[in-house]
Structure 1
């Protein structure tokens, strides 16, 4: 399922596809904004979106084998809720 498919599913519950697109963009935007400010987004029964710091490390270029330095960065993480794990299994 991609974003367009998700819009189509939400459009079944609201009156237009345009409204569905706005709702989805608003939800995704709110999650991104929260993660930018280092907040955690918890959705009961679905999971949690949070950020984690990935430390700097040394990697290798697979073509040349040369060592490269990979800088530290903050990455988004998703932790599924038990209900979501159970629904998938």
Structure 2
């Protein structure tokens, strides 16, 4: 499902216009992104939580040359599914 399909599904399920559903989806994404930038965790009851995962600097290899390279430290978003989502996926 891509963003346009998500917006259409939200519009249909919530009884909104696609324009209003699009604004709601974009607002949700922007709000979650801003919270993660600040280092906050976002928890949505019954769905899951978004958090930041810190990756330390590490050594790697260039697959073409075999030369050793340093991979810089980085931060990545991490999603953990909630119990309701896990149960729905596993037939519970």
Give runs of aligned pairs for residues 5-84 of structure 1, distance below 5 A: 5-12=5-12, 13-84=14-85
CA distance in structure 1 between the partners assigned to 2:47 and 2:64 by the alignment: 40
SS of aligned partner of 1:58: strand
TM-score (norm 1): 0.94
Query: Given that residues 45 and 83 in structure 1 are in contact (C-alpha distance below 8 angstroms), is that contact kept between their aligned partners in structure 2?
Result: yes
CA distance in structure 1 between the partners assigned to 2:38 and 2:15 by the alignment: 31
TM-score (norm 2): 0.91
Match of 1:3 in 2: 3
SS of aligned partner of 2:15: coil
Structure 1's unaligned 5+ residue stretches are: none
SS of aligned partner of 2:70: strand
4+ residue runs over 2 A deviation: none
- Tell me how large the CA RMSD over aligned residues is: 0.9
Give aligned pairs, total: 89
SS of aligned partner of 2:49: strand
Structure 2's unaligned 5+ residue stretches are: none
